[in-house]
Structure 1
Amino acid sequence: MISQRVGNVPTLQCPAKQVGPLRHRRTPVQRRLGRGQGLQIVASQSTASGPRFIQHKDEAKTFYRFLSIVYDSIVNPGHWTEDMREDALSVAKLDSPDLKVCDVGGGTGFCTLGIVKNVKPQNVTLIDQSPEQLAKAKGKPALQGVRILEGDAEDLPFQTDEFDRYVSAGSIEYWPEPQRGIKEAYRVIKEGGTACLIGPVHPTFWLSRFFADAWMLFPKEEEYIEWFTKAGFTDVQIKRIGPSWYRGVRRHGLIMGCSVTGTKPKAGDSPLQMGPKIEQSGSSSANPIYTLFRLILGSLAGFYYFLLPVYMWLKNLVWPKNWEM
């Protein structure tokens, strides 16, 4: 089990012993790769299962065309609260107002609001593929001065070694190639810089797992570690996050369930070798009716994750208990 305290890294409590924060552990893939310097690593596809009806860039873009209207008032209260944001960003090392930070897939700027509490707005860049989400961000007074761009998380329009910090919250679930997006995170930050990726956790409970896999990508904790490590990051760590009243982040999953960090050990591009992108935004040739069908099915599956936090909140009112995972 894990006990959550805002601002503190939780500890994993196993039945037999207690260990520290979730840290990098070498997976079978990593053991095969070894620790050699200059090693070229070839990427593999994610092993996360499920049809994922909202998994393509154009589907996500259409989905947010409508969700942007109510995102801050509907999604955030159950999955991405201000306390969770502060907890998740506490490991991002936003320890100087002069840091240069990019917020990738920043949407309406909710996470950016947390970043500019510690970093000068003029040093922050927010990028997202949804113009509707970005319009919401542009309207927030606290984000005046932030550079706001439309772009692709898997093909960032930035120079190599341009930023001190990389942050991405609630975006990886829509990336067709998560490994490519994390490789880009490595490329755009400077040597010694930190990347912080905040995203869903794959559920272990069968019903929650069914709806998660039908909706969008909910990576496993082991996948996050593998993607970061293969991209070249060191000191890879995972911190589980969640509302204080939500029980079972690993059992039921959360749209914002963990904060993953890694350090870039040396300047330059990632050692990871990848082929051409498998998908470009705006390149879909799918039948519009088929796309609409997928969006409807995906949205219905996602509705489960709007009801689940309400259930957890009501359950906590009736049966208060220390938060568990």
Structure 2
Amino acid sequence: MDEKQTGGRPKEPHQIDFGYKMIDEDNKVNEVRHVFDSVAPKYDLMNDVLSFGTHRLWKARCIREARLSSGMKVLDIASGTADLAIEMARRVGPGNVTATDINHEMLAIGAKRLHAAGYPSAVVEADAEELPFADDSFDRVTVSFGIRNMTHKDRALKEMFRVLKPGGRLLVLEFSKCAGWLKPFYDFYSFRFMPWLGAKIAGDAPSYRYLAESIRMHPAQEPFARMMTEAGFSDVRWHNLTFGICALHIGEKSARS
């Protein structure tokens, strides 16, 4: 019997969010890939413009909290154009950072930037839900502004836990739930200004509208911390950055794991 049939009737495709739209689960990876194919050429410029450069301060906080030292093995997931990977490579040394992303266009830019910075690194096109690495391979795992786009965040977190060495640390930097007093201003900025500027600079308003919607669909600080705990991480905590617009979640893999 066809595995996709139950009682002789085709199994209904599972629906999942793509921004505010619901789409078939199997289509989300391609839809997300299309968005980032479109924004890749102007991605770094738009990050600087839209955040007024603040994303650099958030990433610097992530690196400080990683407590990196020379020789550590680091996996940067959803590495994109590799700005975080480059800064971490400066601290752990050449050849110790592995950058992954599901999007070929973004990763190609990242590979060029790593090489130009003098830190050629392993660059792997991979799905975070099925990482092609052995158990207990990395001292640190990072993901910045990527987990909200993953189809199954719980599966991705379990994979991050699997490849992390006992005693290692996961750091997740992601947009989150901002302070209540800021929400009206942030909503106007996100849903009016961001798509408008996306059209002017990147020639793509719909992709920036999706990015704003995806932020609202991502779990808030406490629910996401619970997801990390359920994936196996201990001592899970978070730091709100810029009134909660961004949050840095940190979890440990127990040395007994």
Partners of 1:226 and 1:264 in 2: CA distance: 15
Indicate whether 1:265 and 2:239 are aligned. no
Alignment partner for residue 51 of structure 1, among 7, 13, 20? 20
The verdict on how the C-alpha distance between 1:146 and 1:258 changes in structure 2, with shifts beyond 3 A counting, is: same
Structure-2 residue corresponding to 1:116 = 89
Q: Aligned with 1:135: secondary structure?
A: helix
Alpha carbons 2:76, 2:98 under 8 Å: kept:
yes
The TM-score, its normalising length taken from structure 2, stands at 0.73
Structure-1 residue corresponding to 2:238 = 238
Alpha carbons 1:93, 1:194 under 8 Å: kept:
no
**Cα-to-partner distance string for 1:190-231 (whole Å, 9 max, x where unaligned):** 100001111110345367299589721332001221011111
Alpha carbons 2:144, 2:173 under 8 Å: kept:
yes
Name whichever structure is richer in strand by fraction.
2
Where do 1:184-203 residues align within 5 Å? 184-203=159-178
Partners of 1:213 and 1:267 in 2: CA distance: 38
1:138 partner amino acid: A
Superposed CA RMSD: 2.8
2:84 partner amino acid: C
Partners of 2:213 and 2:103 in 1: CA distance: 19
Name whichever structure is richer in helix by fraction.
2
Where do 1:68-107 residues align within 5 Å? 68-79=40-51, 81-94=55-68, 96-107=69-80
Where do 1:155-304 residues align within 5 Å? 155-203=130-178, 204=180, 205=183, 208=187, 215-216=213-214, 217-242=217-242, 249-250=243-244, 253=245, 257-266=246-255
Residues matched between the structures, number: 210
**Cα-to-partner distance string for 1:75-116 (whole Å, 9 max, x where unaligned):** 23433532221112211121x110000000100101112211
Partners of 2:59 and 2:22 in 1: CA distance: 27
Partners of 2:21 and 2:211 in 1: CA distance: 6
* Greater mean alpha carbon deviation, residues 189-198 or residues 85-94: 85-94
Partners of 1:208 and 1:263 in 2: CA distance: 33
Partners of 2:18 and 2:107 in 1: CA distance: 31
Partners of 1:129 and 1:52 in 2: CA distance: 21
Partners of 1:143 and 1:61 in 2: CA distance: 28
Partners of 2:211 and 2:75 in 1: CA distance: 29
Q: CA deviation at 1:139?
A: 1.5
Q: Aligned with 1:145: secondary structure?
A: coil
1:133 partner amino acid: M
Q: Which runs of 5+ in 2 are unaligned?
A: 1-16, 192-209
Partners of 1:120 and 1:111 in 2: CA distance: 14
Alignment partner for residue 130 of structure 1, among 73, 91, 103? 103
Alpha carbons 1:106, 1:168 under 8 Å: kept:
yes
Partners of 2:36 and 2:228 in 1: CA distance: 27
Structure-2 residue corresponding to 1:18 = none
Partners of 2:31 and 2:118 in 1: CA distance: 27
The TM-score, its normalising length taken from structure 1, stands at 0.59
Q: Which runs of 5+ in 1 are unaligned?
A: 1-47, 243-248, 269-325
Partners of 2:83 and 2:21 in 1: CA distance: 25
Partners of 1:230 and 1:143 in 2: CA distance: 39
Poorly superposed stretches of 4+, deviation over 6 Å? none
Partners of 2:126 and 2:139 in 1: CA distance: 19
Q: CA deviation at 1:52?
A: 4.8
**Cα-to-partner distance string for 1:132-161 (whole Å, 9 max, x where unaligned):** 101111221126421101010111111010
Partners of 1:134 and 1:214 in 2: CA distance: 22
Q: CA deviation at 1:184?
A: 0.9
Partners of 2:212 and 2:57 in 1: CA distance: 29
Identity of aligned residues (%): 26
Where do 1:12-23 residues align within 5 Å? none
Structure-1 residue corresponding to 2:39 = 67
